[in-house]
Chains A and B, each alone.
Chain A
Amino acid sequence: MKLRFEKRLEASHLSTILVPLASFVISLLLGALLLAANKANPWQTYHAMFMGSFGSLYNFSEVIVKATPLILTGLGVALAFRLRFWNIGAEGQLIWGGIGASVVGLFVTPAQGGNLIYLLLAIMAAMAGGALWAGIPALLKTRLKVDETLTTLMMNYMAILSYQYLYNGPWRDPEGFGFPGSRQFSQAIWLPKLVGRSTIGIIIALVIALVLWFVLTKTKWGFELTMIGKNPRAAHVLGVNSNKNILVALLISGALSGLAGGFEVLGVSHRLQQGLNLGYGYTAIIIAWMAALNPLSVVLAALLMAMLLVGGDQVQMIMRLPSAVGLVLQGLILIPLLGGAVFSEYRLRFIGDKKDV
């Protein structure tokens, strides 16, 4: 018997699930070595992390709270990456989503009262904020060929500074007892809750993942985006306009991250305050790769990442290890991921020592 890698002729369907899972498991194994080297019991640590994520309904709801923005930003990043537009600005786009929703929450919705319409308005404003923040680099790239890695990254810092300025300065609640942050929005535009702190945002995120998957794999537009992503020159020859499509796709990509930010302020903090730049937008990049840019796999990858984050917090409390354990494991995921790409393109085959044939 021999083991052999063989290049796949078609992308495999099973890999949608296997690739993210495999990279997750391998990162746990690598992490175990690291933990053992630091004289911590890996089994206990993982157990604590697992219980931290699934031990109670409340804990699980915390996983959902983190998974919601991760799914949305992960989808946004994956969409852009499919077009080889290296949008690493999901962080900034998420923040601008938060700002957009806050504009509606603070200046359009009455301080008391209001209704569902205002919530919808706020959600749209969030998407517009994110779209704006992604649209600028997309325009610069398609019109002037300005490198998008630089612009999206720099605009993250601009976004962080602008929202910090807003909640510390002009939008600061004078009755906030010294805490920086805007006033609370009217309850009417709070995102309805599910369990614990989790909201219906997760359901919307799941539906969006499904819709995006459908659009990308089954529709004319998705077909054209694939062509652009795989060979822009040939796409152009075949009549597909890259620039226009990249712009539209990036507006959607930004809107998805913006939605994540909107859900954060409308569903979790109910005001604009610190805590929007937690790095979801960067984790989203890992998630997108982990998912091999497939929207359905993004959901799985985002859930796994959320478990690491929540579990990491638990480890800190129970095991007295730094919560950075979760972050380290996140980083470790990238390593097998590079190898993981091998598995989706190749397949493992057992071959007997054949005499004939």
Chain B
Amino acid sequence: MNNQPPLLKMKGIVKHFPGVTASDHVDLQLQQGDVLALLGENGAGKSSLMNVLVGIYQPDEGEIFLNDQLVDIHSPADAEALGIAMIHQEFMLIPNMTVAENVILGKQDLPLFPSLEEVENKILDISKHYNLQVDPRAFISSLSVGERQRVEILKMLYRGAKILILDEPTAVLTPQESEDLNHVIRRMTSEGKSAIFITHKMKEVMAFSNKVQVLAKGETRAVKDTAKTTPEELATLMVGRQVLYNIEKEPFRPGDIVLDVKRLSTRGDREHSRLKEINLQIRQGEILGIAGVAGNGQQELAEALTGQIPPSEGSITIKNLDMTGKAPISYINNGVSYIPEDRGAMGSIGDMSVGHNLIMKGYRKAPFINRGILQKQSIFDFVHKLIKNFRISTPSQETQVKFLSGGNIQKTILAREIDACDGLLIAAYPARGLDVGATEAVRQEIVKQRDHGTAVLLISEELDELIMMSDRVGVMHSGSLLCILEGENIQRDKIGLVMSGVCPEEDQ
């Protein structure tokens, strides 16, 4: 231990929300140069605690000290003035403005007419220094998720942040991007900056941090030196039981063809993600994994297979019905469920209640509807059951979804879609933002669907997840489906090989 006074000290932080106590007398300490990993189940209070630190929420009790001095933080601007900045779980960039404009947006000490050129040059300096490649003139809307995140980091560095808070920064990153982020963080800490980051991925905790703090139900459960702990111990501390990391799966016994896609192509502005002559089939009781770096057409594939975008060529047949060019409702009526990659924009409606979000698939059918009128009692019972089965933590059915923690919003979507699924499940990054316990549960649930005869298309960037769950794995690159690996061939290095463009001979 070093004897320096801590750079940052949060003491006895209490934050109540109606129905929950998000922080219950939490203490937190950060030394200069520290990377502190904040760990905890969904809804444990990680984001809330950090939101208190940057002045988005006012604590009901507790104090914050910087260099042993009591500070008052009433707004993100106050925090920024003290050198504390945060990247939020959901990005906060303005899509139709450029990188440079976003970086200075909302900055306090801006001249009346800021010179964008100066800003751009400074951005280029910083990005060179930290090896963070970004074009300052690019519009945010044209950037991939990984690039957007780089912009967020640049923005904090540009504004001179000394303590950086990253809320699940890698949930949406590719493994390579996450590796790059690690380098950036190391570089920053070697220069005396400090970081707090929230993640659910144990590997990253071990690779990024030197200290770990585990939260549970708003309280601190443990503070550890990373070097003196193991992922297993941390997981157990968090969940309160052992996490298995592997799932029970029945032997592969494929049935009839459920999804049959022939020469599927789409139109689109982005050459890279436009679908090009995709052929694939999924049978009952089969999980087809789709690997590949995000932005290579995975989202387009999911959207085409759920009727969101019409194919420009080719055909889609589901359960022997020709679905080509049909609207989303036809897909839903044919038993297709969809877990979209963007939970806030596409998967849920934040301004509506948890109950209403859970019934958004089922409301069309009896017993939830009778002569066009919604049946309150049956809906209540149904929602109650889903909340319980999927362990969604919410104060009540009536709570608006936007007030749930990130992971619990994801669980709400999963519960609705898995429950309504009848034949085909399209799941894009289903475990994104979930804690280890919930991740395990969701994977097990999807595999259970497969065991019961559902055909599953699983889009993921996590090779472990794909290998663990899939019966076959295809790799997407630049809008094309490269070869599909089966059985023995589903291995890390073989998938990697396909990604680099080599197809093992024994496959088609």
Smallest CB separation, B400 vs chain A (Å):
6
**CB pair B374 A223 closer than 8 Å:** yes
Contacts of A241 in B (CB 8 A): 327, 329
Which residues of chain A from 226 to 253 have any CB-CB distance to chain B below 8 Å in the complex?
A: 226-227, 230-231, 233-241
Closest residue of chain B to A355 (Cβ to Cβ) is B61
A241 to B333, CA, bound (A): 14
Residues 191-220 of chain A, each 1 if its beta carbon lies under 8 Å from chain B, else 0: 000000000000000000000000000111
**CB pair B363 A234 closer than 8 Å:** no
**CB pair A9 B398 closer than 8 Å:** yes
**CB pair A9 B374 closer than 8 Å:** no
Smallest CB separation, B486 vs chain A (Å):
31
A221 to B371, CA, bound (A): 11
Which residues of chain B from 302 to 339 have any CB-CB distance to chain A below 8 Å in the complex?
A: 306, 308, 327-329, 331-333, 338
**CB pair A230 B361 closer than 8 Å:** no
Name which of A8, A234, A240 has the most chain B CB atoms within 10 A of its CB: A234
A180 to B93, CA, bound (A): 59
Contacts of A231 in B (CB 8 A): 345, 348-351
Q: Is B372 an interface residue when CB atoms closer than 8 A count as contact?
A: yes
Contacts of A147 in B (CB 8 A): none
A24 to B332, CA, bound (A): 46
A142 to B363, CA, bound (A): 25
A235 to B347, CA, bound (A): 9
Which residues of chain A from 180 to 197 have any CB-CB distance to chain B below 8 Å in the complex?
A: none
**CB pair B398 A220 closer than 8 Å:** no
Which residues of chain B from 159 to 208 have any CB-CB distance to chain A below 8 Å in the complex?
A: none
Option from B18, B308, B333 in Cβ contact (under 8 Å) with A236: B308
**CB pair B345 A239 closer than 8 Å:** no
Other contacts beyond A10-B396, A235-B349: 19, CB < 8 A? A6-B18, A7-B18, A7-B403, A9-B396, A10-B353, A219-B373, A220-B374, A223-B356, A231-B349, A234-B345, A237-B308, A237-B340, A237-B346, A238-B360, A239-B327, A239-B331, A239-B332, A240-B329, A241-B327
A219 to B374, CA, bound (A): 5
**CB pair A223 B363 closer than 8 Å:** yes
A79 to B415, CA, bound (A): 31
Contacts of B97 in A (CB 8 A): none
Contacts of B400 in A (CB 8 A): 9-10
**CB pair B328 A220 closer than 8 Å:** no
Contacts of B279 in A (CB 8 A): none
**CB pair A10 B399 closer than 8 Å:** yes
**Interface of B with A (CB < 8 Å)?**
17-19, 306, 308, 327-329, 331-333, 338, 340, 345-353, 356, 360-361, 363-364, 369, 372-374, 395-396, 398-400, 403
**CB pair A218 B374 closer than 8 Å:** yes
**CB pair A10 B372 closer than 8 Å:** no
What are 27 A-to-B residue pairs whose CB atoms are below 8 Å?
A6-B18, A7-B18, A7-B403, A9-B18, A9-B19, A9-B395, A9-B396, A9-B400, A9-B403, A10-B398, A218-B374, A219-B373, A220-B369, A221-B372, A223-B356, A223-B374, A226-B352, A226-B356, A231-B348, A231-B351, A233-B346, A234-B347, A237-B328, A237-B347, A238-B328, A238-B361, A239-B331
Which 9 residue pairs spanning A and B have beta carbons closest together? A239-B329, A10-B398, A231-B349, A239-B332, A230-B351, A239-B328, A9-B399, A237-B346, A230-B349
A6 to B369, CA, bound (A): 35
Smallest CB separation, A203 vs chain B (Å):
24
**CB pair B345 A236 closer than 8 Å:** no
A233 to B342, CA, bound (A): 11
Interface residues on A, range: 20 to 34
Closest residue of chain A to B307 (Cβ to Cβ) is A239
A10 to B398, CA, bound (A): 6
Contacts of A227 in B (CB 8 A): 349, 352, 360
Name which of B306, B345, B349, B374 has the most chain A CB atoms within 10 A of its CB: B349
Contacts of B398 in A (CB 8 A): 9-10
Contacts of A230 in B (CB 8 A): 349-352
**CB pair A238 B374 closer than 8 Å:** no
Closest residue of chain A to B347 (Cβ to Cβ) is A234
A241 to B364, CA, bound (A): 14
Smallest CB separation, B70 vs chain A (Å):
19
A223 to B373, CA, bound (A): 10
Closest residue of chain B to A228 (Cβ to Cβ) is B349
Contacts of A218 in B (CB 8 A): 373-374
Closest residue of chain B to A229 (Cβ to Cβ) is B351
Contacts of A10 in B (CB 8 A): 353, 396, 398-400
Name which of A9, A219, A231, A233 has the most chain B CB atoms within 10 A of its CB: A9
A220 to B369, CA, bound (A): 7
Closest residue of chain A to B24 (Cβ to Cβ) is A357
A223 to B398, CA, bound (A): 15
A28 to B351, CA, bound (A): 32
A240 to B328, CA, bound (A): 8
Option from A220, A221, A226, A234 in Cβ contact (under 8 Å) with B348: A234
**CB pair B349 A234 closer than 8 Å:** yes
**CB pair B364 A238 closer than 8 Å:** no
**CB pair A236 B374 closer than 8 Å:** no
Contacts of B332 in A (CB 8 A): 238-239
Contacts of A235 in B (CB 8 A): 349
A223 to B327, CA, bound (A): 19
Closest residue of chain B to A351 (Cβ to Cβ) is B60
Contacts of A237 in B (CB 8 A): 306, 308, 328, 338, 340, 346-347
Contacts of B353 in A (CB 8 A): 10
Contacts of A238 in B (CB 8 A): 328, 332, 360-361
Contacts of B331 in A (CB 8 A): 239
A241 to B308, CA, bound (A): 11
Residues 280-297 of chain A, each 1 if its beta carbon lies under 8 Å from chain B, else 0: 000000000000000000
Contacts of A236 in B (CB 8 A): 308, 328
Smallest CB separation, A246 vs chain B (Å):
15
Contacts of B356 in A (CB 8 A): 223, 226
Contacts of B346 in A (CB 8 A): 233-234, 237
A235 to B348, CA, bound (A): 9
Smallest CB separation, B363 vs chain A (Å):
6
A6 to B399, CA, bound (A): 14
Contacts of B372 in A (CB 8 A): 219-221
A234 to B18, CA, bound (A): 27
Closest residue of chain B to A221 (Cβ to Cβ) is B372
Contacts of A240 in B (CB 8 A): 329
A241 to B352, CA, bound (A): 18
Closest residue of chain A to B338 (Cβ to Cβ) is A237
Closest residue of chain A to B336 (Cβ to Cβ) is A239
Contacts of B17 in A (CB 8 A): 9
Contacts of B329 in A (CB 8 A): 239-241
Residues 236-275 of chain A, each 1 if its beta carbon lies under 8 Å from chain B, else 0: 1111110000000000000000000000000000000000
Smallest CB separation, A349 vs chain B (Å):
9
Contacts of B352 in A (CB 8 A): 226-227, 230
Closest residue of chain B to A349 (Cβ to Cβ) is B18
A31 to B345, CA, bound (A): 43
A235 to B328, CA, bound (A): 10
Residues 165-186 of chain A, each 1 if its beta carbon lies under 8 Å from chain B, else 0: 0000000000000000000000
Smallest CB separation, A220 vs chain B (Å):
5
